[in-house]
Amino acid sequence: MLHVHRYHDAETLRLVKRARAAGTAVLWDNDDNLVAIPKGSPHYRDLGGLASLRTTTDLRRMVQAVDVVTTPSRRLAEIFEGFGARTAVVVENFVRDELVDVPRATRSGDGVVIGWLAGAEHQFDAERIPLRDAFTRLLDRHADVRLRTIGVSMGMKHDRYERIPSVPFVDLPRAMVDFDVGIAPLAEVPFNEARSNVKVKEYAVLGIPWLASAVGPYRDLGEREGGRQVADADGWLDALERLVTSGRERRKLGKRASRWGRKQTISRNLSHWVAVYDALLSR
């Protein structure tokens, strides 16, 4: 069996065709809607606009050439089925097992930390959603609240806003352990509708209650999973204020987040991949 992740160039397509011609089963996996890169994304220059036409052609050829396509998003599976994939299977993204054992920070009455862990591609979301105003008002109202972003920038000048430009992947859990609330804002655009829900899983496994936009991957998640949806761009201030002013609500959601997050580890969900591999190899 040949497992290919994301590559869809001509050379990889030739490799896939040779493998299938030799009787090797081929699985292709992708976790982003590469034909809907929004303007403002750092990837738009290479993949957006007219370049998306070539990407669409390449993706169509790839998904039609392989035996099975896997993706963590139902919407993305639908897109690949529309491109002609024989079989498109949803396997969600899961979190590393070692996150279960990362100890939470011990603090005593030193305020509330709101955190957002997000890569450069989320700069688009930071600009599209009026978060800067909401956070400025929140920080001005509550002297015990701090905001920290890792990766993405809020472009704010405030003595209780901190941005950490980058953190090595293996060190990310330690950078989040003192978050009292984790946030996952997404602008309502086609690219985000096909995203994975792994961001809130990363918060949840650390016992961090979360707030997420009611978009794409988060629409089916809520208090049972330790968080709440924010219905629209204007709802962020109220949702944040409700949590920062109630330690009881944060603790309640944090416990639910931890219970759910511990079920979202790679080892506890290997059966999903085993089922895909078994079905593929039994053809």
The CA distance from 88 to 103, in Å, is: 38
- In the predicted model, what is the mean pLDDT of the chain? 94
Give the number of other CB atoms < 10 A from CB of residue 205: 27
Residue 277 above 60 pLDDT? Answer: yes
Which residue do the tokens 């991949």 mark? 273
Residue 49 above 90 pLDDT? Answer: no
The CA distance from 205 to 67, in Å, is: 34
The CA distance from 70 to 74, in Å, is: 10
Give whichever of 36-40, 112-116, 232-236 has the largest mean pLDDT.
Answer: 112-116
Residue 109 above 90 pLDDT? Answer: no
Residue 107 above 70 pLDDT? Answer: no
Q: Which two tokens stand for residue 79?
A: 């897109």
The pLDDT of 59-75, averaged and rounded, is 98
Provide the percentage of residues in the chain whose pLDDT is more than 90: 84
Strand order in the sheet with 112-118: 161-164, 145-151, 112-118, 181-184, 210-213, 227-230
Q: Which two tokens stand for residue 161?
A: 């806003």
Residue 89 above 70 pLDDT? Answer: yes
- Class of domain 2-94+266-281 as given by CATH: alpha beta
Residue 139 above 90 pLDDT? Answer: yes
The pLDDT of 122-151, averaged and rounded, is 94
Q: Do the beta carbons of residue 235 and residue 66 sit within 8 Å?
A: no
Q: How far is CA 108 from CA 13, 171, 178, in A?
A: 56, 24, 12
Q: Which two tokens stand for residue 85?
A: 């994939």
Q: Do the beta carbons of residue 152 and residue 126 sit within 8 Å?
A: yes
Question: Which pLDDT tens digit goes with each residue over 166-197?
Answer: 999 889 998 999 999 999 999 999 999 999 99
The pLDDT of 22-51, averaged and rounded, is 88
Q: Do the beta carbons of residue 204 and residue 260 sit within 8 Å?
A: yes
* Stretch among 32-41, 64-73, 110-119 having the lowest mean pLDDT: 32-41
Topology of the domain comprising 97-261: Rossmann fold (3.40.50)
User: pTM of the full predicted structure?
Assistant: 0.93
Residue 215 above 60 pLDDT? Answer: yes
The CA distance from 71 to 33, in Å, is: 10
Question: Which pLDDT tens digit goes with each residue over 234-275?
Answer: 899 999 999 999 999 999 999 999 999 999 999 999 999 999
The pLDDT of 136-152, averaged and rounded, is 96
The CA distance from 280 to 95, in Å, is: 24
How do the domains of the chain map onto residue ranges?
A: 2-94+266-281, 97-261
Q: What pLDDT sits at residue 51?
A: 84
Residue 140 burial class via C-beta count within 10 angstroms: exposed 0-12, middle 13-18, buried 19 and up: exposed
Single-letter amino acid code for the residue at 221 = L
Q: Could you check whether 2-94+266-281 and 97-261 share the same CATH topology?
A: yes
Residue 108 above 60 pLDDT? Answer: no
Q: Which two tokens stand for residue 132?
A: 């800067």
The CA distance from 41 to 176, in Å, is: 25
Residue 214 burial class via C-beta count within 10 angstroms: exposed 0-12, middle 13-18, buried 19 and up: middle
